[in-house]
Each structure stands twice: as C-alpha cells, then as structure tokens.
C-alpha cells in the first residue's frame, strides 16, 4: 500500500471519530457504579458478623469489626460475576457469600434497617429505668 493511501485513511478515521456526539474531549459516560450507601439487604443475617474474617486480599485474616466503615461497605457490594470458558458465571463460593452477608448485616444493623443487636461503638445499657422512657 502507498503511504498516501494510509494517510488518507487515517484522516477519514479521525474525522469520523471527531464527528461522534461525545467527541468534545470528555470521555464517554460510564455506567454509574453503585453508591456505598446502596448496600443490598443480606440474604441471611449472620450472628456475630463482626467476627467474620476476610479470606482474601490485603485484609486477609482481619475481622470485619476491625475494619472501617468504607472497607466493610466494599465487602458488602455485589461483585462482578466471574465468567467461565463456557460463558456462564461461576456460582459464588460459600466463603464469599458469608463475608458479603456479614458485611451487609453489620451495615444494616448500624442503620437500624434490620432487627438484631445493633453494632455500635457505644456501651450497651444493662438496665433501664422504665419511669424515664421518652416514649
């Protein structure tokens, strides 16, 4: 091929790309990632969810109760499915499901959106004076 033909083809490609609607220099819009406050409800409420340990990555062996809120929220999110050679997603591993449900349980207990012992840093009152209940 002649270099002039290659150059002409490249010029046509550039013109076609610049004519596209989002060619203003800004990148194309990406699908919005779920916000950290959009944590799904757990499929199973995990008792003592804070003691569940992370089984992979830099926090391997660390209990969820030792992690910050952002880290716990990350473990609570639904991961991208892992696709096999046949094009079908692999089923989730039991340890992944346990970790995800434990993280979701912690978050929703803190928010008060599920019943169960609230996970807080404040000490728990052992007795209640029923005469001074505000409701």
pTM, full prediction: 0.58
- pLDDT of 119 reads 43
Cα 7 to Cα 13: distance, rounded to the nearest angstrom? 10
Q: Please list the ranges in the chain whose pLDDT falls under 50.
A: 23, 33-36, 118-128
Q: Are 54 and 64 in contact (CB under 8 A)?
A: yes
**3-class SS of residue 63:** strand
- pLDDT of 118 reads 44
Q: Which of 122, 101, 120, 121 is nearest to 112 (CA)?
A: 120
**3-class SS of residue 33:** coil
Encoded tokens for 64: 């969820």
Q: In b/e form, how buried is each residue of 93-114, taking b as 16+ CB within 10 angstroms?
A: eeeeebbbbbbbbbbbbeeeee
- pLDDT of 28 reads 53
- pLDDT of 120 reads 42
Cα 75 to Cα 55: distance, rounded to the nearest angstrom? 11
């Amino acid at each position: 091929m002649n270099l002039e033909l290659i150059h002409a083809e490249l010029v046509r490609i550039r013109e076609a790309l610049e004519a596209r609607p989002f060619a203003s220099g800004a990148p194309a819009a990406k699908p919005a990632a779920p916000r950290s406050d959009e944590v799904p409800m757990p499929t199973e409420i995990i008792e003592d969810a804070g003691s569940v340990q992370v089984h992979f990555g830099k926090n391997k062996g660390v209990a969820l109760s030792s992690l910050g809120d952002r880290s716990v929220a990350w473990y609570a999110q639904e991961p991208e499915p892992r696709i096999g050679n046949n094009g079908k997603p692999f089923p989730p591993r039991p340890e992944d499901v346990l970790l995800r449900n434990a993280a979701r349980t912690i978050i929703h207990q803190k928010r008060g959106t599920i019943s169960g012992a609230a996970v807080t840093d404040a000490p728990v009152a052992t007795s209640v004076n029923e005469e001074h209940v505000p409701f």
